[in-house]
Structure 1
């Protein structure tokens, strides 16, 4: 099942997107492109950016930039490049994420720090760098996770970092409200992406049984929420988290 296309007018506005090669961020990039936005797409893997740019075609105003969001200097340089290319940063969507397996009792310091560095520090680095280049009336959307609310067996760095992202979102929303910049989060549940498919092989049947809508979500359905949160339709919405999980959050 695909999400119905909703048209927004982002003409002349610029999106700075991290993790653009991932399933959900790629869908966000496509929807914003269809809505007329300029795109500054970043990802750790240059080949994924090349593939996405090829899908978007020549009709979209876009730039791509390899980026490790755990490196604050690299993030600052990427945001500066976006400003130089398009003039300003209207929307920020922090889609970069790392989902690694390992229980706490045998977890190495490296695995823990890597998960927090990407999933939490990367969000902080991105919004800190972007804010000086955002006009009043801009919007920030942080991609969190249902795991940030409920925890996730075998994925403690991921769930802990995503929980912190939810708190960071609420704090940031208060700090930037005087500039009429809004900051919200999206907490996806089981979305049909490569990250989730491994989990589905382990216990997907049981999880789908607990999902009231009885299916996986699509990246396009999450993208639609991100676009809404950046649009004027959400002009009085800030410091909130929207769950996109087919009801799994309340049912499980």
Structure 2
């Protein structure tokens, strides 16, 4: 049992479960006693994560933007762990590189569909099933606060997530808390190309002089779901080593 968090008897619904950060979230919450409902498009990798956790876990391979897959995850979770969800963490996302002028309609819609529309559909479906005192943790990004060259579609989607987080905090409180995490450069496969191209410059601007680890983001997600953050809602916590300091 993780000494910092106790989620015994609680249930987490997590999308993007096979990503670098998603895997760490699943592992930490499971180690802390939670039941886990996993969603991801990659069926083989999803089964790998499910098998590693072994118990108190169910998985649905499907598109996290599709209402049918979301409903199946909710149905399976209820059948396995009983009615009610305590934590929802939409961690699915993509980060393609393209300038605004080179971004076609199809790419723009794909980014918005996964990074924003899927979050809307997941939360709209799951909020009515959440237990009192539950918590939602959305994924924004440093890009959503300050923009990102050649990732305008991504930055726009994450800026929208920040606005959605604050709006939901008004709508679902006091029953639920809604916060966001805004990671900087975290060592995961999604940012390998960015690190290769701009890594040295980014490190020179980072006071902690290193990249973040997925486990460091997972621990902040767990904090926001825990009773330690019981008076926090509508906030975005930055996990970026000082690369961006919000005023």
Does 2:51 align with 1:54? yes
Unaligned runs of 5+ in 2: none
| 1:81 alignment counterpart | 76
| 2:156 alignment counterpart | 160
Report Cα offsets for 1:219-247 as digits up to 9, x if no partner: 00000000010011111110000000000
Within the candidate set 111, 118, 131, 1:115 is matched to 111
CA contact (8 A) 1:6 1:224 kept: no
Within the candidate set 94, 97, 104, 1:98 is matched to 94
How many residues matched?
Answer: 244
Rounded to whole Å, the distance in 1 between the matches of 2:174 and 2:149 is 39
| Match runs of 1:98-247 below 5 Å | 98-179=94-175, 181-247=176-242
Report Cα offsets for 1:112-163 as digits up to 9, x if no partner: 0000000001111111111111011000000111111111111122110010
SS of 1:137's equivalent in the other structure is strand
Report Cα offsets for 1:59-81 as digits up to 9, x if no partner: x3000101212223332332232
SS of 1:106's equivalent in the other structure is coil
Unaligned runs of 5+ in 1: none
CA contact (8 A) 1:41 1:63 kept: yes
- Aligned-residue Cα RMSD (Å) equals 1.3
CA contact (8 A) 2:141 2:182 kept: yes
TM (norm. structure 1) is 0.93
CA contact (8 A) 1:83 1:133 kept: no
TM (norm. structure 2) is 0.95
